[in-house]
Chain A
């Protein structure tokens, strides 16, 4: 069964999600990967304001292809999440509620998710054109000089994803393969 989820998520809503849930996300997301995360963490360390409100926000790990003229965005599938693992715990401590990517997370990220009540969504890698069709608006809001890696604010409708790691630490990347592994 697939559930529709409104973004931003509050802590109570995030804590109610369970690994393995199929979800359709609608609302606002922010994009960011390695370079943008590094800058966000530096701003936090220096006590400076962030370019967007991190409280209850969801970050999508993506750098899309360039939009064709007249299009909202290019292809926009998830990138591998572990490269953001060294930055994620600090952002979670400052209110980040959701992350969307693909692939494993570190024990430190999972511990921070449990402590702060956050959720990790997995999107299907290589479904980038399909996902682009669920993005209704895209606007660069920070770190323009990073070019393709600038932070964008995306408005999405029915973005297909799965809850991979929930706020209790349940992990579909462990339970799924364990269920289907052949002896």
Chain B
């Protein structure tokens, strides 16, 4: 059985989070640059100019793209033939997070108690870790640095099946309309229809990391993505919420089997600084 030492996992998690916070993915970058050309509102175009200029300054000065360097979200697909050795997997992931946020000059934004103390944990731990068991002997890591300006605007609805396609589109539109300028538009929207309450939210979050410009393999859902994107870009919110014709860069919709009595819809909203990085160990 293939062995993987936890020290390798720590190292990879740290490198991924530093990279995600400093280098915007080419897919998002291209989408923002395209939006800048297509945007009709001068004020929104000015905001998009700043976002593009920010990529350059961030690289040049080795500064994080955004001051909210996020909670660290880790999706780990663990091959069932892989043996993780040398220590505790969860501790190793968190050690990688602590290392990244300290050595990468990233902001530590996690508090230990959400309601009463709200004391900063000092190392951005704990990470939110989602593991799944997959065939093979590899470990696939997806690290997302998730800012809470957009996370606070994410929503879930337990729609009745009769709500149909219109119900799904209306809910996606409602989430983005109500969020307005708050989540730093132009946004990237991850949606999951189906599953149950928590699975829908999880898959919607995962969908925000799907490359911009790719579509669901099911033609009906790919068409639904396009319909949703068209609707969002008619809202007029625009970059930074200043008013404009590009409110969303992408809508990625996933679907899952669900119960005969329900149709959960989760809408996970990500800002234009959609930061994630992947590695396979």
Assess the A129–B57 pair: CB atoms within 8 A. yes
Q: How many residues of B contact A (CB 8 A)?
A: 50
Q: Which of A20, A66, A181 contacts B43 (CB 8 A)?
A: A20
User: Within 8 Å of chain A (Cβ to Cβ): is B157?
Assistant: no
Instruction: Check A130/B41 contact, CB under 8 A, given A102-B149, A177-B180.
Output: no
Chain B residues contacting A177 (CB-CB under 8 Å) are: 180, 235-238, 241, 243
B65 touches A65 (CB 8 A): no
Residue of A nearest to B48 (CB): A124
A22 at the binding interface (Cβ < 8 Å): yes
Which listed residue (A82, A124, A181) contacts B236, Cβ 8 A?
A181
Is A95 interfacial (CB 8 A cutoff)? no
Q: Give the interface centre of B57, B68, B109 by most chain A CB atoms within 10 Å.
A: B68
The complex places the Cα of A171 from the Cα of B228 at a distance, in Å, of: 27
Query: Which label, helix, strand, loop or mixed, suits the secondary structure of the B interface?
Result: loop
Q: Which of A10-18, A73-81, A111-119 contacts B (4 or more CB under 8 A)?
A: A73-81
Q: Does B272 lie at the interface of the complex (its beta carbon under 8 Å from any beta carbon of A)?
A: yes
Once bound together, how far apart are the Cα atoms of A97 and B54, in whole Å? 28
Question: Given A74-B67, A126-B272, A180-B41, is A160 in contact with B61 using a C-beta cutoff of 8 Å?
Answer: no
- Tell me if A45 counts as interface (CB < 8 A to partner B): no
- Asked if A156 is an interface residue, CB under 8 A from chain B, the answer is no
Given the known inter-chain contacts A63-B107, A127-B50, A162-B43, please indicate yes or no for A133 contacting B57, CB distance below 8 A: yes
Tell me if A51 is interfacial: C-beta within 8 Å of chain B: no
- CB-defined contacts of B57 to chain A, threshold 8 Å: 129-130, 132-133
Residues of A contacting B233 with CB < 8 Å?
Answer: 182
Q: How far, in whole Å, are A133 and B244 apart by their CA atoms in the complex? A: 27
Q: Is A88 an interface residue (CB 8 A)?
A: no
- Bits for B224-238, please: 1 = Cβ < 8 Å to A, else 0: 000000000111111
B180-223 interface with A by 8 A CB criterion = 180-182, 184
Asked if A173 is at the interface (CB within 8 A of a chain B CB), the reply is yes
Query: A128 to chain B: which residues have CB within 8 Å?
Result: 54, 63-67
In this assembly, does B268 line the interface, its C-beta being within 8 Å of a C-beta of chain A? no
Interface string of A53-91 (1 = CB under 8 A from B): 000000000111111100100111101101000000000
Residues of B within 8 A of A104 (CB): 180-182
Cβ-based interface call for A98 (8 A): no
Residues in A neighbouring B234, C-beta threshold 8 A: 181-183
Quick one: closest A residue to B120, CB to CB?
A147
Question: In the assembled complex, how far is the CB of residue A152 from the closest CB belonging to chain B, in whole angstroms?
Answer: 13
In the bound complex, how far is the Cα of B245 from the Cα of A125, in angstroms? 18
- Does A129 lie within 8 Å of B238, measured CB to CB? no
CB pair B242 A77 closer than 8 Å: no
Least CB distance from A164 to B in Å reads: 8
Closest to A133 in B: B57
Q: Is B108 at the interface (CB under 8 A from chain A)?
A: yes
Sampled A-B contacts (11; CB under 8 Å): A65-B107, A75-B64, A79-B68, A126-B184, A126-B273, A128-B66, A129-B54, A162-B240, A173-B241, A181-B234, A182-B245
Q: Which 4 A-B pairs have the closest CB atoms?
A: A176-B243, A181-B236, A125-B184, A180-B236
Known: A126-B273, A128-B66, A129-B64. 14 other contacts (CB 8 A): A22-B43, A66-B106, A75-B66, A77-B67, A79-B68, A80-B149, A129-B54, A160-B50, A172-B243, A173-B181, A177-B241, A179-B41, A179-B236, A182-B234
